[in-house]
Chain A
Amino acid sequence: MNSSLGRPNFLNRQSFIELNARERANVLMDVGSAREFLGPFDRIESPWLAAQGITPQADDGCVVIKGRIAGQAAVAVALEGAFQGGSIGEVSGAKMTAALEFAAEDNARGIPTSAVILLETGGVRLQEANLGLAATAEVMNAVLMLRRHAPVICLTAGTVGCFGGMGLVAGLASYVVMTREGRLGMNGAEVIQEENGIEEFDPSDRALIWAIHGGEQRQALGLVDALVEDDVNAIASAVQALIRKGVPATHRSSEIDLYRRRIQSLDPSHQWEPREFRNWWSNRLAEDRL
């Protein structure tokens, strides 16, 4: 209990996770600066879903908002996790790629423009197969292009999480912001079970899933730059702070030798528990820095 009304703190915060993709992208922008590109009334939707008997969404589950964050030009691209699991199809992928490429062009023309990608996605949309895979490669290319000029911030608040090819995109981001509710990885629990059996990964064990893919573990492994509460203000300030920080001296994905050495010294014959692994990894992290 903290406020004069005697309400516990969690009642005073505004949940970010409960917002849809459009609302999420909008609340990150400085007040009055947001402008949407290719919104639902432009009807740039997937031409493939209806042919397969699936209801499309007018914006293909990808929201592009241009505006200012912390006074600086920025573009936010949000995937709608509730629509087809936030999956990347031909259209949603092209929207994300184009937004990042335009931001890179703006930087080249002397207008510093950073990007926030809000990833709630299982990765490639299976119904659009190869087009989704190609889109993922294009998004990765665009992130690499943009991050030389300005920070690309990946925000995975939850609860869908960020997996598959988009998990790799997150790996390329300049900074990663997560909540404890968010999840980040490449193969999700269900995929691992399907491939290697329930002994390998039990997707009904939610505590296990979050112990491995959850924001807290990811931060402890040094893969997350800001672990924040599910609160609009907390998340917006974390994003603003990272934009002010600018391009990092070294991107995490460039530290190939460091990660290769660390993985080589890992004993895969041992059954690692998430917490044990976290301790081992962070001790290694301390040694690497010596």
Chain B
Amino acid sequence: MSSSPRRRIAPEAVIAAVVVILLVVLVPLVVYSKIGESLFPPDAVTKQAQDVRSLYNIVFAIAVAIFVAVEGLIVWSVIRYRRKPGDDELPAQTHGNTLIEIIWTAIPTVIVLFLFGLSFNTLATVDAVGNNPDIRIHAVAQQFQWTFEYLDQNGNKVATQTIPTAAEGGGMAVPVGKNVLVTLDSPDVIHAFYVPRFLFKRDVIPGQTNRFQFTIDPSEATDGHPEILSGQCAELCGTGHRTMLFNVIAMSQNDYDAWLQALITKSNATPPPAPSVGAGATLNVTAQNIAFDTKSLTVAAGQPFAIDFVNKDPAGVDHNIQIRDASGNVIADPPLTDGGQSATYTYQALPPGTYTFICKVHPIAAMTGTLTVH
């Protein structure tokens, strides 16, 4: 190295300084930007989720610090300690240093114990289940749909929501600012109740009733302005796993009261009479094991037709036979038939072409087929 009287700054030091400055500027810029947003979970809607988010922020900060420091050292060493061509001299053969080893064992131990303590505290809030929830819901996960039973304070069912998603006019409505207890059961395989904005999921295990509580922040909904939160099964449960969507709908207390009343009425109402069969062909379709017994149906064009549908799956497993045109638009959507029931679906006359028939609750391959109208 040069030993002139005026010390020249090594080029590596300049590079290092520039990189450090860039990092100090760029890292906060990225973290707080639009892209940076995706480095964090979505905005928390429950009290519990807010606690988790705070914990996440701390873990994230420590993670970024460690990453920048260690990755920086790796990059620095690799640049600064390159072997110059023709340099055959050995570098100093440092075998180790006991003091440094102790230091860099002790400091990480302290850091992880600190993180453990923090997470243990947060866990206490997130996992807490009290004795007097305001609302009790029994969520049943099955292959491949969610059913939400609303219970009174004694645990008796008062209403059942069989439509899990808001898009179809259903969803698990809850009032904001109130303590909601959810108990989870499954009659078949393991599922998981996951709502990203709760920053939470819990497995639904056959033979074991899991439970959790949450309180949605009161600011999330006001009268006439509910908030729809998306949820999805998060434990592989078979071919329809990706279709097990649901929504939690945060509502003001007034909206919720009205909603629940309407659901109670609907749950208790007698089912509508079966529509009369008009002129035209009657096809036969059976559903069992979450599959139709046929993948193709044929009818004549220009005539109304009917399908005698038998649902051989167990009670609680609903199906219907929706018709969609070639572009995927729904042109007929008859009511759901519960397991163990039958129904006759009537459809209006269709122009010639190729259509799809599909179960709207289980839009999987086994419950999809082609309807040819000629």
Asked if chains A and B come from one complex, the reply is: no
